[in-house]
Amino acid sequence: DAGVIQSPRHEVTEMGQEVTLRCKPISGHNSLFWYRQTMMRGLELLIYFNNNVPIDDSGMPEDRFSAKMPNASFSTLKIQPSEPRDSAVYFCASTSPYQETQYFGPGTRLLVL
Amino acid sequence: AQTVTQSQPEMSVQEAETVTLSCTYDTSESDYYLFWYKQPPSRQMILVIRQEAYKQQNATENRFSVNFQKAAKSFSLKISDSQLGDAAMYFCAYKQGRDDKIIFGKGTRLHILP
């Protein structure tokens, strides 16, 4: 059974460019979480969805960040415009209503120059 | 608000020895779950073990076991027969029963000495 899939695995871009990160949750999971991990701030929850609906976006740093989940099998996290301080590893995780455990994707390592 | 504290930023253990990573948490809830996640250099977050608060028996997974002290709000991870592949960052995490979000500690970096 495939785990959480994220793409791209690595992204290098220049300041001001738009960045789109993608996530495919585990089939049957109805909750999806976006995290950001940096050395300074550790692991931060940015936003999460239940049944494709955003429930809590209080962790989204600012208006430059947006996330969507158009269907149960796909979500995007967009940064526009990107800034060097957005450089981090971005994780997507999912869970089902019958489990308490979140399963993480491999992460996207973003570097904004 | 619930918090998770890992007081040991780094630890080292000799290969084949046993090591215990500490974690304490703060909650007023009775229904919750606790987790240990491992993050090796690949950055992948991997579930190591989980514990339901209503269970008195400590969870075990092969060489990994926990010491769950509910009254003390302590949830330590014991790794027996440490192996080089155990070198990683370990995160303790808490989830309230009815909540969706997981709260993570800051992590403990574990080094395995050959």
Average pLDDT, chain A: 94
B-interface mutation test, from A36, A43, A50, A110, most B Cβ less than 10 A away: A43
> Is some CB atom of chain B closer than 8 A to the CB atom of A72?
no
pLDDT range class, residue A61, cuts 50, 70, 90:
confident
Residue type, A72: A
* Mean pLDDT of the region B43-48: 93
In degrees, to the nearest 5, what angle opens at C-alpha A34 toward C-alphas A28 and A40? 150
CA of A44: which chain B residue's CA is closest? B104
Q: Is the pLDDT of residue A98 over 90?
A: no
Q: What's the first-to-final CA gap in chain B, in angstroms?
A: 41
Q: Give the pLDDT confidence score for residue A62 in this predicted structure.
A: 84
Q: Does A52 touch chain B (CB under 8 A)?
A: no
Question: Quick one: DSSP state of residue B31?
Answer: S
| Residue that is written with structure tokens 């229904």 in the block | B31
What's the mean per-residue pLDDT of chain B? 94
- Extract long-range pairs of B95-98: CB within 8 Å, 24+ residues apart: B95/A100, B95/B32, B95/B33, B95/B34, B95/B35, B96/B2, B96/B27, B96/B29, B96/B31, B96/B32, B97/B29, B97/B31, B97/B32, B97/B33, B97/B53, B98/B31
